[in-house]
């Protein structure tokens, strides 16, 4: 299945006939098999599928963290495939944000210093208006001088979210961002991600195993065996779970 292709020119990232193969000969594994996906600006997209289905591989290829074997990857109108290392570093620094399962905060820095670190490394200063909007959106106004050990897990992940947002990237890639959080903290972070799309116009692509997490998205892409096999718009947790069960049943029959 090819995911729905939008007629809008407002595309944050896209994959065109992307294949990714690891190894060779008897050890060859096809992680992606001709994936065509467009991710619209200002939309929250969740990517789901069984382990080994290719969902994380696609995200890494779109983010320039991994190369493709065949096909093309774009962030906005910039072709990522074929970029040299320096160009990729600049792209990831200036146009892409990352949120991971591990918060990756430096323990000796305050929340504010952690948020501003990527800009400091790049020799850039944030727009004060934008910085204040981001801090208000994540609800960390009273926590900026605290170090990570003085923050809850949910607060630490919101610091990581603010760090990803503050450089105003074209797209934020989130890999299991609630995986290390309890349900209450996870809900906090998901509400924030949803809010950042609605109020800040951010574009977010989130890999998750959790149907409830996926229900916060505008759109869910389902992967199986290196391909997009289904998608949902305005999903509910029940609809996501139902689709996952159908995909799982289909895979068991096929095997």
Q: What is the pLDDT of residues 149-166, one digit of tens each?
A: 999 988 998 899 899 988
CATH of domain 11-254: 3.40.50.300
Let me know: does 115 contact 166? Beta carbons within 8 Å: yes
- What contacts 48, CB < 8 A, 6 or more positions away? 55, 207, 208, 209, 211, 214, 220, 221, 222, 223, 240, 244
DSSP 65: S
pLDDT for residue 4: 47
pLDDT at position 3? 57
pLDDT at 216: 96
The rounded mean pLDDT for the chain is 89
What's residue 8's pLDDT?
43
pLDDT tens digit string along 165-203? 888 888 999 998 888 888 888 888 898 889 889 988 899
Q: For residue 102, what are the CA distances in angstroms to 4, 20, 212?
A: 32, 25, 20
pLDDT at 14: 95
Q: What pLDDT does 255 receive?
A: 53
Q: Extract the residue ranges of the chain whose pLDDT is less than 50.
A: 4-8
| Per-residue model confidence (pLDDT) at position 114 | 95
pTM of structure:
0.86
Q: Residue 28: how many CB atoms within 10 A of its CB?
A: 9
Residue 140 near residue 132, CB atoms below 8 Å: no
Q: What is the pLDDT of residue 143?
A: 94
Give kind and range of the element (H or E) at residue 219. Answer: strand 219-224
In the prediction, which pLDDT does 34 show?
Answer: 96
């Amino acid at each position: 299945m090819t995911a729905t292709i939008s007629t809008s020119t407002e595309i944050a990232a896209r994959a065109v006939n992307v294949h990714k193969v690891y190894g060779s000969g008897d050890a060859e594994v096809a992680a992606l098999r001709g994936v065509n996906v467009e991710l619209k600006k200002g939309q929250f997209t969740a990517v789901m599928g069984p382990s080994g289905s290719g969902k994380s591989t696609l995200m890494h290829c779109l983010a320039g963290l991994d190369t493709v074997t065949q096909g093309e990857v774009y962030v906005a109108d910039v072709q990522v495939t074929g970029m040299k290392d320096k160009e990729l570093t600049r792209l990831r620094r200036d146009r892409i944000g990352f949120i991971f399962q591990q918060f990756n905060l430096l323990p000796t820095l305050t929340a504010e210093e952690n948020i501003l670190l990527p800009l400091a490394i790049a020799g850039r200063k944030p727009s004060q208006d934008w910085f204040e909007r981001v801090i208000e959106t994540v609800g960390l106004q009273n926590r900026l001088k605290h170090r990570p050990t003085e923050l809850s897990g949910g607060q630490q992940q919101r610091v990581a979210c603010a760090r990803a947002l503050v450089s105003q990237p074209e797209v934020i890639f989130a890999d299991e961002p609630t995986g290390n959080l309890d349900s209450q903290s996870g809900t906090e972070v998901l509400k924030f991600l949803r809010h950042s799309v609605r109020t800040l116009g951010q574009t977010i692509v989130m890999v998750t195993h959790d149907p409830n997490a996926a229900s916060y998205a505008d759109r869910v892409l389902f992967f199986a065996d290196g391909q997009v096999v289904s998608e949902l718009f305005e999903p509910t947790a029940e609809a996501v779970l139902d689709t996952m069960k159908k995909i799982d049943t289909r895979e068991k029959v096929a095997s």
